[in-house]
Every structure is written in structure tokens, then in C-alpha cells.
Structure 1
Amino acid sequence: MLTTVLYMVRHAESPFKLGEERVRGLSREGQIAARKVTALLKDIDIAAIVSSPYTRAIQTVQELATYKALTIKEYETLKERPIKGLEYRLPEQELLKAIEQSFNNKAFCLEGGESTQQAQRRAIPTILQVIKENKGKNIVIGTHGNIMTIIMNYFAERYGYDFWKSTSKPDIYRLTFDDNNSLTEVERIWSEMEG
């Protein structure tokens, strides 16, 4: 049976700056962690590297792309899911509550935000297209915590709020798909590099 593997790489540490969601890059610690991502994936035969268009996601997989002599293909559809409108900040507890609610009720979103359902509608066709174009191969995806969880949730309901809360920056999950694009296995591989 032909299997296709997605390595979902959640971006490394990036300092929050209001209004700079798209362009904020990695912190010094994030840059060091991104080098560990490269070390972990450099010996894998990678056919393609795709990413969210956000700087922090690209920077996390950039060194790997350079090492592999691959061009990162950016997809607007793989950007992070906005939880709320950008014009106001929410206390962390309220934000976490909204994220939890968005997984329990996939149609829920805060004003100016995007529901889990809406995010899946934009991201999943891209994921399926990338799998189709690279059938039987290994693909790396530079991504974010929320949209990564939302994509995984589409294929298996067990990936929701608790899973999202358990992820780190960076993080790497190896997703194996069969011929029918069914998710058959998920393995966290970042923990091997931690510490």
C-alpha cells in the first residue's frame, strides 16, 4: 500500500507583536530551535516543503529547505486561524475559553474570527491537493498550533482543544495517510529533540 507522510512543523518561539501577525519572525531561542528541526528532518527524503505565508512558519522550515535545495511553496489557505478580530486583545483565559468552544462547536467564532468549520473549508482542499501531488512521498508543512490542530481534527475528531494545549513551539507531528487519504497513524517526533 502506498503511504504519504506529512510532517507538520509547528513554528518555533516568536514574540507576540500586536498588528504583526503576518510578519513577526522567530526569537533568538526560536532560531536555535529551528536548527534542531533541521537536524531532526535532514536525513528524511523530502519531496516538498509547503508553508503558511506567515514569517515565523517559513523561518522554522527555511534552513531545512536550504539544506534540501527545495523552494518553500507558500499557501494563503494554510495561514493561522484568527480567533478574533485584530483590533482588540482578549485576556488569556477568555481566549482559551473561545478556542475550547471552537472545537466543541465547530461553527462558533468570536467577532472578526474564524470558526473551526471555516478554517477547515479553506485549509483541507490545499492539504488534499498537496497529498495528491506528492502521493507516496514525504512532505513538510510549516504551520501553526491552531490550524495544525484544525487540520488534524478534520481527519480524526480526537485532535481538539486538549491536543492543541499539549503542543509546544516548535513541534513536529508525523501524519501517515493511506491510498484513500485516510489518516492511519500520528507520531509526535519533536519530543525526541527536547532538552
Structure 2
Amino acid sequence: MKKLLFVALFSVCYLACIAQSTQSTTFILVRHAEKGTDDPRNPSLNTEGKLRAEKLLNMLSDVEIGAIYSSPYKRTKETVTPLSAKLGLEIQEYNPNNNSFADEALKSYQGKTVLVSGHSNTVPGLANYILGEEKFKQLDESEYSKIFILTIDAIGKAKVMVLNY
């Protein structure tokens, strides 16, 4: 597990370095961590989800992140809150039903790394939007460990790597 985490962290750092040296932008897309059952419409993270949010913090705490985006739900915000607090970055809300926010993020954070916390049905769709092709399908409801790392010069001109964390 530690070896996999090291490989994932190395990959993220490597892609972020490439992005910064060529003015490419890196988007890191994650689905929110495991959700609880405290509220059927807007649940918080459960214990396992809080541990996954800490894993994300540990994995990305040394990456130079320029912005953190989250859909307006508790579970997505709680997934990136530990990292946001450590880096001193405000979590910016986006509409998960409208991928065009990525265009503005690309302009605003050119050459930087942008972290986005979304959902099983929106993260693959955002990855497809950035890639300019339908490559990924909706994640299974039980899938929380995927992380999509996209290095992008322009919408439709990107490379992607998918890891588990």
C-alpha cells in the first residue's frame, strides 16, 4: 500500500512539474470519499470517508495546488477540507451539472494544478469534457478510490492518468 501511494504521489508530482514547465495545467479530479447515512439528500462523510480525505491530504500536501473546487455538497467539501486547511486555500464551489467552469479555471490557473471534488456521475463527465472525448463512464456507486489526473494545454488537448488512492 505504501509503495502504491508513493508511486501515485510521484506521478502527481511529476505531472505537476511537467505542467508547470510547459505552462500546461493539471486537473486532479476525485469523487467525494465514502458518505454517511446521516442525511439522505446531503450526507457527511462517514468514518471511512474521513480516513480517505486524510489519505488525499497526505498524497497531495506537497503538490503546488493553485485552486480547489468542490460541488456544493457536504461530502465533496469534506473530502477536500483537510487539504484546503493545510494549504490555506479557499474551496471554490462549482455547479457539477455544468462543466464549463473548467474553461474559466483553465484561464485563471494556467500552468498550475487544480483539484476538483465531485461525484460518481460528474467526475468522469468532467474528465471527458476536458479530454474532448467520451472516454470514461459513470463510476460505480461503490467506487471511491479513483483519481483522474489530466494535463491540459486546452480543452480537448489533454492527457490523462487514472490511479487509485
What SS does the aligned partner of 1:59 have? helix
Aligned to 1:156: 133
1:166-190 per-residue CA deviation (whole Å, 9 max, x = no partner) reads 9821432111111x3334211123x
Aligned to 2:156: 182
Aligned to 2:35: 14
Aligned to 2:61: 42
For structure 2, the 5+ residue unaligned runs are 1-21
Give the length in aligned residue pairs: 142
How far does residue 16 in structure 1 lie from its aligned partner after superposition? 4.5
Aligned to 1:69: 88
Query: Contact conserved, 2:38 with 2:44, CA < 8 A, in 1?
Result: no
Task: Give the alignment's TM-score, normalised by structure 1.
Answer: 0.67
Higher strand fraction (1 or 2): 2
| Structure having the higher Rg | 1
Query: Contact conserved, 2:60 with 2:83, CA < 8 A, in 1?
Result: yes
For structure 1, the 5+ residue unaligned runs are 79-118
1:116-146 per-residue CA deviation (whole Å, 9 max, x = no partner) reads xxx4xxx222111111110111011111110
| Superposition pairs of residues 21-32 of structure 1, within 5 angstroms | 21=41, 23-32=42-51
Quote the sequence identity (%). Answer: 29
Task: Give the alignment's TM-score, normalised by structure 2.
Answer: 0.78
Between 1 and 2, higher relative CO (CA 8 Å, sep ≥ 6) is seen in 1
1:3 aligns with 2:24: yes
Aligned to 1:55: 74
Work out which of the residue numbers 148, 166, 169 in structure 1 matches 2:144.
169
Q: Residues 175, 73 of structure 1: CA spacing in aligned structure 2 closer, same or farther, 3 A cutoff?
A: same
